[in-house]
Structure 1
Amino acid sequence: MNSIPRILLPALALALAACGGSAETPAPPPLAGARIGGPFVLTDGQGQVVRDTDFAGTWRIMYFGYTYCPDVCPVDVQNIAAGVKAFEDESPALGAKVVPIFVTVDPERDTPAVVGKFVSAFHPRMVGLTGSAQAIADAARAYGVSYRKVQSPGASEYLMDHSRIAILMDPQGRPVALLPQDEGGPAVAAELAKWVR
């Protein structure tokens, strides 16, 4: 009977371990270690002060936009809400741990009442946040979001040019992954299913 040379045993053990799917360690989240997130003090749709610490222990989806956006923001928020709803339907206990959060980058027009009404049209647990110009700037900077007011010549209203990202944060407030809100609700739900535990 042929025997395996002792020198090859460690390599063989490593190769066999790599074949067994159940023994593999899950891949780390794409945003693990990224410097995204941080403290904020903002105001919700009922005029109540809200801090980042109020969401401790929950999975958060952070999306920055504005309610007067003519096209992109409503579609993104609708896709995020549809993704959360689909995930809730598939896994009610896990879905209940996910809080979608909309933070305006247009505090001049987006009062608490305006953001409250906006988010209530999409998901019953979605939180709309606004605040002073400085508080919004601080929160956006912490989450790596850039924005600026754009006033076209002759236009009566201004637009807000801003980063278009939805960030999944874990219960400890650490960034996990970017959600594909531009790909629709099913893609958002699939990404949530990958990470939320």
Structure 2
Amino acid sequence: MKLAWIIAAGALICAGMLAAIQFSAPKALQLQTSYEFPSPQAIAPFTLTDQHGNTFDNADLLGQWNLFFIGYTSCPDVCPTTMGKLTAAYPSLSDEAALQIIFLSVDPKRDSTDTLLNYANFFNPEFIAVTGAHNQLYPVTRSLGFVYAMVGEGENYQVDHSASFALVSPKGEKVAIIKPKSDTPGKLPQIKNSALIHDVKAIMGKYENG
């Protein structure tokens, strides 16, 4: 009988420990349009130039959250639409934690400092617009999970590029990719502002409280 009690007590202890572990394990975030990396990802060293002619590098990512988007100012559709969405979402995105919106131009030939300054100011003067030579852009775009390619010849070439965002923590590490999503078959994928705001705030909260 005593052995039976010992076995029963051991089973209860094990069950309690298992329940405690499951209770204390962090719950996976319920994200609507994003992918959170299992662990933060380092970003390749980079040195770019912002719309004011100042150097912008990895050190400028430290101390606040950063949301990257790549494109070019001559983009006829995706870029201005996205910048408009970011302008509308920015007050909500930044109301709980400091956040930089960074437009990364991958068209250095046409996107001069003045062009980037006018472009950023049109949408929101608080946004940062940066660019650099292609040998400077390739490592950081790859590191952020973006791709781009020049299409066409002559002065009217276009640039194919990713339409996602990269969320970078105050430690300068990539923690998530916000991806376009379509809820309707045949409809062009997009990032809805409501989903963007929900996901960014959820990830920020996890890291701030972790």
**TM value normalised by structure 2:** 0.76
Contact 1:38 1:142 in 2 (8 A): yes
- Which stretches in structure 1 are left out of the alignment for 5+ residues? none
Partner of 2:201: 193
- Please point out which of 66, 84, 90 is paired with 2:72: 66
Contact 1:83 1:184 in 2 (8 A): no
**1:113-132 aligned within 5 A:** 113-132=114-133
| 1:172-194 CA-partner distances (Å, limit 9, x unpaired) | 11111112463222221111210
Partner of 1:13: 16
Contact 1:36 1:143 in 2 (8 A): no
Partner of 2:32: none
Structure 1 Cα separation of the partners of residues 27 and 88 of structure 2? 27
Structure 1 Cα separation of the partners of residues 40 and 170 of structure 2? 16
- Which stretches in structure 2 are left out of the alignment for 5+ residues? 30-34, 181-189
**1:47-196 aligned within 5 A:** 47-88=53-94, 92-94=95-97, 97-151=98-152, 157-180=156-179, 182-196=190-204
**Identity value in percent:** 26
Equivalences, count? 186
| SS of alignment partner, residue 53 of structure 2 | coil
Specify whether residues 103 and 128 from structure 1 end up closer, same or farther in structure 2 by C-alpha distance, changes over 3 A only.
same
**TM value normalised by structure 1:** 0.81
Structure 2 Cα separation of the partners of residues 46 and 157 of structure 1? 26
RMSD: 2.6
Contact 2:101 2:127 in 1 (8 A): yes
| SS of alignment partner, residue 30 of structure 1 | strand
